[in-house]
Structure 1
Amino acid sequence: MRHITLFSTLVAIQLATINATFVCADDVIELGSRRELFVDHFLIDNLDNVQLTLNRPRDEGIAMEFDKPWEGLFCGYCTVIKDGDLYRLYYRGRPSVGADGSPDEVYCYAESKDGIQWTKPELDLFPLEGHPKTNIILANAAPITHNFSPMLDTRPGVPAEQRYKAIGGTMHSGLVALVSADGIRWKKLREEPVIPTSMVPYKYMFDSQNLAFWSALENKYVCFFRVFKDGIRRIARTTSDDFLTWSAPVLMEYRHLGEDGPIEQLYTNQTHAYFRAPHLYVSVAARFMPKRQVLTDEQAKAINVSPKYFKDTSDAVLMTSRGGSFYDRTFPGGFIRPGIGARNWVSRTNYPALNIVQTGPTEMSVYLNQDYAQPTSHLHRYSMRLDGFASAQAPYAGGELTTKPLTFKGGELSINFGTSAAGSVRVEIQDASGKAIPGFSLADATEQIGNEIARTVTWKGGSDVAALAGKPVRLRFVMKDADLYSFKFNE
């Protein structure tokens, strides 16, 4: 009986080894040479005393004031586009309160060489009485000028005269498409809307900043727009091959740690392809808290906020998507919290601009529309390290992160990381079963200490990992008092 038991145990161990070694091709993530950020659990198989941590952006102060006579208190729905060495800013100009899509709404334009200091060019496109030159690039186009949202079209082979595209409109007009060669002079792509109200199965839609962009991941244009479902502001998505004909809209859902995520009022979604990892969509959305009043009547009067615009409050939250019909809300808390002082706690303030752009060798910036409905209305800038939305963080006691099986292309592994003076990161490369590969074990790994955007990982034998390219492997990061933001295999 003892021999049978021993034999059964040996067989069980052997079968377990075979099962651990065998990995179905569908279970292996084809990484290629793309950069991966630790903003979700997509690549993570195991965390041991390591947690994903949200890193809140740093306040860099006022980027630009909305101080022209045609701008004013109700400027909003901003878009920032980096086109080569030039940064372009688009925003609605509106000095007084009014209904959505009113004829007096205009769209304004500013430029920057660094994304930090902004200037408003004097253009003769739309002169106003007493102002022969303005920075207005679209007027007399209601209701498009309520929420005009431009994009730089990165689709291969796009005609030069359509290098810039935009959508705008309300539920009364549907979403109308415009095109431009230079991002300043615009014309309609066609008269009728490309996304008419009739194709959206909701009672209310479009009364927000709706956006579109070319997705290299999906090889399509994608559009994210606002709808109402059960009285809650939600996001719907549609796709197109040509920017003219769009698929039936799909309501976006939310996931948090593999379960249904919180459904909250999201006023704008600002979804875009992250410029350093275009397969990853980043959304810095405006979370709206209706009737969550913070200020007293006296406090509101002291900051001269427009009446009825201090009964709610809002902030910015971070979501991500890898295509498809759901957002990952790994971090349901606030990404950018309202600042100190009454001005930051009024209705419809802290609304993020569309797109995050690089503003330095190691820095990127996100912009927020702040002091809404106040004489101090302005655009505010916040900065982060490149890839620094979130990180895999290990305490002083140390911890480990192990990825799911993956394949890669390239000859070296680069990490974006930071440690304390006492901290470190070491990388072990394992086979798909979790066994260390000779020459790339933890004992062979060089301790990485420092704070760099791109550090090449080394082992005793050097940095060359080309022999492992195309084979299913796991990465084991052993960390102490450190943050790991992203990694990439370089070809």
Structure 2
Amino acid sequence: HNFNPFRDTNPKAAAEERYKALGGGPPRLFASPDGIHWRLVRPEPVLTDGPHDSQNLAFWDPQRRLYVAYARFFANGVRHIRTATSEDFVHWSPSQPIDLGKAPPEHLYTNAITPYFRAPHMYVGFPMRFVETRKLAAGHPYPGVSDGVFISSRDGLHFDRRFLEAFIRPDFGMENWTDRTNLPTWGVVQTGSAEMSVYWVEHFRHPTVRLRRGTLRLDGFTSVRAAPSGGEFITRPLRFQGTRLELNFQTSAPGGLRIAVLDQEGKEFPGLGLADCPEIYGNEIDRIVAWKQGDNLGRLADQAIRLRFVMRDADLYAIRFVP
């Protein structure tokens, strides 16, 4: 039950343990050289402090150089998520609950947390939110309805839960409005040059149970959106490495955006102001920003700067600095 394998990218991983997994309840550790032939690493379970009938998972984090696990447990009677780390996949730290800040308590059944492949220093997760007090299908034997939500983190412990709306809503059909369906599976997969896919289980407990694929543009989990009337924002102070600023964005035909580079006090750097930035419009994943003087920002690398975005009828999905 709940066997969750992964390919171990730890450069020190032995060839006969290139694939690893957590499985069972309490979870036990498994290893395989090829993802097909598996052996039990040790008979003793790990992550024993909590319920285990869920998609408990683990992976190697190359940024932290640790194995990281996420599993289910209860916090004050509410289903929640806990995490633990290990240097060798055998000996694990005591688990601790993840921090969702000021988000209201909700039953989060599974977590589907993974490093985002385009920004591996960040984790994204898609917990299944379970509303146990609702029942829409009168003939179904179990109560509860569910959907998928979105969380993200930069340290694996403190997660941003500001987006309280559903990320995956139940589809048409009463089979999608019974307990524990709409359960996000683990992983985000690039499936096109500008596309990635997420997956979830539909029709749980029904003969028609199936896996559904949903697509997003790369980095398209969220965006900063400006209305046709326009809007603007200024980033927090940041330091960067590289020489050029890259945008993932989309505008309408008359929409657009401009960018100014500011010092910590909010003053524009010469040649990098709003008036120096031709309006940017279109729909691109990797647009390089060019001011009238050019696109090279190398002289500001490792300095504290801020970016001012002035936008109208546009979505900004991501920014990054590249060589």
- The CA distance in 1 between the partners of 2:81 and 2:176, in whole Å, is 25
Kindly name which structure, 1 or 2, has the bigger radius of gyration based on alpha carbons. 1
The letter of the residue matching 1:337 is R
**1:165 and 2:17 equivalent?**
no
RMSD: 1.2
Question: Quick check: 1:446–1:457 contact (8 Å CA) kept in 2?
Answer: no
The letter of the residue matching 2:98 is M
CA drift at 1:187: 1.0
Question: Quick check: 2:123–2:156 contact (8 Å CA) kept in 1?
Answer: no
**1:187 and 2:29 equivalent?**
no
What TM-score do you get using the length of structure 1 for normalisation? 0.64
State how 1:199-278 maps to structure 2 within 5 Å. Answer: 200=49, 204-255=50-101, 260-278=102-120
Q: Percent identity?
A: 47
Number of the residue aligned with 2:137: 295
CA drift at 1:196: 5.0
- The CA distance in 2 between the partners of 1:152 and 1:252, in whole Å, is 24
- The CA distance in 1 between the partners of 2:75 and 2:12, in whole Å, is 38
SS of the equivalent of 2:292 reads coil
CA drift at 1:160: 2.0
2:27 equivalent among 164, 175, 180: 175
SS of the equivalent of 1:335 reads coil
Cα deviation digits, residues 385-406 of structure 1 (max 9, x gap): 0000000011111111211111
- The CA distance in 2 between the partners of 1:324 and 1:391, in whole Å, is 22
Cα deviation digits, residues 98-140 of structure 1 (max 9, x gap): xxxxxxxxxxxxxxxxxxxxxxxxxxxxxxxxxxxxxxxxxxx
Task: Sort the Cα spacing of 1:424 and 1:196 in 2 relative to 1 into closer, same or farther, 3 A.
Answer: closer
State how 1:26-425 maps to structure 2 within 5 Å. Answer: 146-170=1-25, 174-193=26-45, 195=46, 197=48, 200=49, 204-255=50-101, 260-297=102-139, 300=140, 308-309=141-142, 311-425=143-257
Question: Quick check: 1:358–1:364 contact (8 Å CA) kept in 2?
Answer: yes
CA drift at 1:318: 0.4
Structure 2: gaps (5+ residues): none
Question: Quick check: 1:236–1:252 contact (8 Å CA) kept in 2?
Answer: yes
Task: Sort the Cα spacing of 1:196 and 1:328 in 2 relative to 1 into closer, same or farther, 3 A.
Answer: closer
Number of the residue aligned with 1:460: 292
CA drift at 1:324: 4.5
Cα deviation digits, residues 300-327 of structure 1 (max 9, x gap): 5xxxxxxx24x21100000111124332
SS of the equivalent of 1:381 reads strand
CA drift at 1:183: 1.4
Question: Quick check: 2:148–2:182 contact (8 Å CA) kept in 1?
Answer: yes
- The CA distance in 1 between the partners of 2:14 and 2:322, in whole Å, is 32
Structure 1: gaps (5+ residues): 1-145, 301-307
Q: How many residues align?
A: 323
Question: Quick check: 1:213–1:221 contact (8 Å CA) kept in 2?
Answer: yes
- The CA distance in 2 between the partners of 1:188 and 1:353, in whole Å, is 24
The letter of the residue matching 1:356 is V
The letter of the residue matching 1:397 is S
The letter of the residue matching 1:233 is R
User: Which structure features the higher share of helix residues?
Assistant: 1
The letter of the residue matching 1:245 is H
The letter of the residue matching 2:29 is A
SS of the equivalent of 1:408 reads coil
Cα deviation digits, residues 78-108 of structure 1 (max 9, x gap): xxxxxxxxxxxxxxxxxxxxxxxxxxxxxxx
**1:449 and 2:281 equivalent?**
yes
Question: Quick check: 1:408–1:469 contact (8 Å CA) kept in 2?
Answer: yes
Cα deviation digits, residues 158-180 of structure 1 (max 9, x gap): 2222121100121xxx3211111
- The CA distance in 1 between the partners of 2:52 and 2:167, in whole Å, is 25
Cα deviation digits, residues 304-355 of structure 1 (max 9, x gap): xxxx24x211000001111243321010111110011212101111101101
CA drift at 1:216: 2.5
The letter of the residue matching 2:60 is W
Question: Quick check: 1:210–1:224 contact (8 Å CA) kept in 2?
Answer: yes
SS of the equivalent of 1:263 reads coil
What TM-score do you get using the length of structure 2 for normalisation? 0.97
Question: Quick check: 2:239–2:302 contact (8 Å CA) kept in 1?
Answer: yes
Question: Quick check: 1:271–1:282 contact (8 Å CA) kept in 2?
Answer: yes
Moved over 3 A (4+): none
- The CA distance in 2 between the partners of 1:160 and 1:444, in whole Å, is 55
Question: Quick check: 1:429–1:441 contact (8 Å CA) kept in 2?
Answer: yes
SS of the equivalent of 2:180 reads coil
